[in-house]
């Protein structure tokens, strides 16, 4: 591989959407942010310079960061944030990965405007396991808030209530023609008849899983989270925040006298308010050279809209998840751990914290909303966990006693228990190098069942099983797929159900795991794993770089 240099100047930029202008935190004044393009095997040196009042940290979502945990980016987990006027060079090499990923801010809610694609091409001379597309197009979903997202989450955490929802979903930063005052802000994809396009979909939205479809066109799904899958055709896909999906779009062989909406809207299973509107972009066929554009334009061109599933269509979500299978070919094998060294059962879900004295709170029954893993709501430390671990200074920063099973088992998906209170702490799990882990993540219905897209840093994992109700440790494992389960970095824990994943802890460091719905992360649905060094020199975390930010 080669070394590629990027510079990210973090600065304020005025952006107008839906007739509202606001000053956003941007990279190089661009919104969405710039693309990172590299090949498998390349080294990236990305210098991030902070010119804004906020603390900044950038995460390279889905990059494995083998031994380079210092470059992973979650604030107070692998590094202290980059303060105003400071800079940090993220230095990592892309090992064994090719496909679509993305980068985003990993501090507070700044990823609402700080995000962009990472495109990893195969090594020079290596091919895709499908015919080379005519063109490749990133399609990045986001959420636009007319007001300041830092103020929104700050207020929600102070009052204990649910934060305001966004004012629009966006495709490549644009809300599209279905919103007021937005017709000009529409992403348009022009295609040539008969050609095949690789759409690189990224869900960078803060808080919503999305259905996506293109009217009158079939999509062929070929990759998720930068891992090839067995291709299959579908009209609609589901993509959670933190997930990426590559689709082949074959343009119709002849010029259709029509334009087509590419639309997305949310999949919502929880309670509460959400933005149920639709974002649209336009797929338009380029005029054939023998047609005079004027005569063509005068005709009224029909416009087709896709049918998207209902907002709470969990059966679509389930069927779609079941269709995802690793390619599991000789060239791209699925290295599913066949034996398990350690098994964990984590409940994930919402709960409450008591309202501070002399305050009124806007959470359930006057409490404050919280969220937890095994009833522990994760308290962010004020110094970075990875440094504390590396320098043996865990005292006062974290404790290695994360409960590996729910302490008091209950009927997770039945009637909610009377006591909805969480406990709070900075608790981690410690894993010896090369531990083969099986993790069952069980949704709870404490404040209503809800789908939670769980993201693990530092690893890909295999999704070996999923189901509804409570996980049955005797019978459910009999149906696990250990042959060609999908390999990814973010998986939806089914609403009112469970998902089983396996991964090999072959990457020393401290690795964050959390719900990628930002509101749930803010409420504490997060935890971290420590993976210890192995014995061999190439099984150890590299030393921290000299410019690692200080807290």
For ligand C2O, the binding residues (CB under 6 A) are 59, 61, 74, 104, 106, 242, 455, 457, 512, 514, 516
Residue closer to ligand C2O by CB (options 278, 460) is 460
Residue closer to ligand C2O by CB (options 438, 518) is 518
Residues 6+ apart with CB under 8 A from 31: 13, 15, 24, 113, 173
Residues 6+ apart with CB under 8 A from 174: 17, 182, 185, 186, 187, 281
DSSP type of residue 399:
B
CB of 59 to ligand C2O, least distance (A): 5
Residue closer to ligand C2O by CB (options 59, 488) is 59
CB of 149 to ligand C2O, least distance (A): 16
Determine if the peptide bond prior to 71 is cis (ω within 30°).
Answer: no
Could you give the 3-state DSSP secondary structure of residue 140?
A: strand
Residues 6+ apart with CB under 8 A from 262: 139, 171, 189, 212, 213, 214, 215, 280, 281, 282, 283, 306
CB of 64 to ligand C2O, least distance (A): 14
Residue closer to ligand C2O by CB (options 17, 104) is 104
DSSP type of residue 41:
T
Residue closer to ligand C2O by CB (options 33, 74) is 74
> CA–CA separation, 276 vs 118, rounded Å?
28
Residue closer to ligand C2O by CB (options 502, 520) is 520
Q: Classify the phi-psi angles of 178: left when phi > 0, otherwise alpha if psi is within -120 to 50, otherwise beta.
A: alpha
CB of 516 to ligand C2O, least distance (A): 6
Residue closer to ligand C2O by CB (options 118, 198) is 118
CB of 244 to ligand C2O, least distance (A): 10
Distances (CA, A) of 304 to 47, 218, 240, 379: 44, 14, 25, 48
CB of 105 to ligand C2O, least distance (A): 10
CB of 72 to ligand C2O, least distance (A): 9
DSSP type of residue 106:
-
Could you give the 3-state DSSP secondary structure of residue 366?
A: helix
The overall longest dimension of the chain from CA atoms, in Å, is: 75
């Amino acid at each position: 591989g080669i070394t590629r240099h990027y510079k990210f100047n973090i600065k304020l930029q005025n952006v107008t959407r839906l007739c509202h202008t606001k000053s956003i935190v941007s990279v190089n004044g661009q919104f969405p942010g710039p693309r990172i393009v590299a090949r498998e095997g390349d080294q990236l040196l990305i210098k991030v310079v902070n010119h804004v009042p906020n603390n900044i940290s950038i995460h390279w979502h889905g990059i494995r960061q083998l031994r380079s945990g210092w470059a992973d980016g979650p604030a107070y987990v692998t590094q202290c944030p980059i303060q105003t006027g400071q800079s940090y060079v993220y230095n990592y090499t892309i090992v064994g990965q090719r496909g679509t990923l993305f980068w985003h801010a990993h501090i507070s809610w700044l990823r609402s405007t700080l995000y962009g694609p990472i495109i990893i091409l195969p090594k020079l001379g290596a091919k895709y396991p499908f015919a080379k597309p005519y063109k490749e197009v990133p399609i990045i979903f986001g959420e636009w808030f007319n007001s300041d997202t830092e103020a929104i989450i700050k207020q929600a955490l102070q009052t204990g209530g649910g934060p305001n929802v966004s004012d629009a979903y966006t495709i490549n930063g644009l809300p599209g023609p279905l919103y007021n005052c937005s017709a000009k802000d529409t992403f348009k994809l022009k295609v040539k008849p008969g050609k095949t396009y690789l759409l690189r979909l990224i869900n960078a939205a803060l808080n919503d899983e999305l259905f996506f479809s293109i009217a009158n066109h079939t999509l062929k799904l070929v990759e998720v989270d930068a891992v090839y899958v067995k291709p299959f055709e579908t009209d609609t896909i589901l993509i959670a925040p933190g997930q990426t999906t590559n689709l082949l779009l074959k343009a119709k062989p002849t010029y259709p006298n029509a334009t087509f909406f590419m639309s997305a809207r949310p999949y919502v299973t929880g309670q509460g308010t959400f933005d149920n509107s639709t974002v649209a972009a336009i797929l338009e066929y380029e005029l054939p050279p023998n047609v005079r554009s004027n005569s063509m334009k005068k005709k009224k061109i029909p416009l087709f809209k896709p049918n998207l599933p209902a907002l709470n269509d969990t059966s679509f979500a389930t069927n779609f998840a079941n269709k995802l299978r690793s390619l599991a070919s000789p060239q791209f094998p699925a290295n599913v751990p066949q034996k398990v060294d350690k098994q964990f059962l984590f409940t994930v879900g919402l709960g409450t914290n008591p309202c501070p004295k002399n305050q009124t709170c806007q959470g359930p029954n006057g409490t404050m909303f919280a969220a937890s893993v095994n009833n522990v709501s994760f308290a962010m430390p004020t110094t970075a966990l990875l440094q504390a671990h590396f320098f043996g200074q865990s005292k006062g920063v974290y404790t290695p006693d994360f409960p590996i099973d729910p302490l008091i088992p209950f009927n997770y998906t039945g009637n909610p228990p009377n006591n909805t209170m969480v406990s709070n702490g900075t608790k981690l799990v410690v894993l010896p190098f090369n531990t083969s882990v099986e993790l069952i993540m069980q949704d709870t219905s404490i404040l209503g069942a809800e789908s939670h897209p769980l993201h693990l840093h530092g690893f890909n994992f295999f999704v070996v099983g999923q189901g509804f109700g409570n996980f049955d440790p005797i019978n459910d494992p009999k149906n696990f797929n250990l042959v060609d389960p999908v390999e990814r970095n973010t998986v939806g824990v089914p609403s009112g159900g469970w998902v089983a994943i396996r991964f090999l802890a072959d990457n020393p460091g401290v690795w964050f795991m959390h719900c990628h719905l930002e509101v749930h992360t803010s409420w504490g649905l997060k935890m971290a794993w420590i993976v210890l060094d192995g014995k061999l020199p190439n099984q150890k975390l590299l030393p921290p770089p000299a410019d690692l930010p200080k807290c």
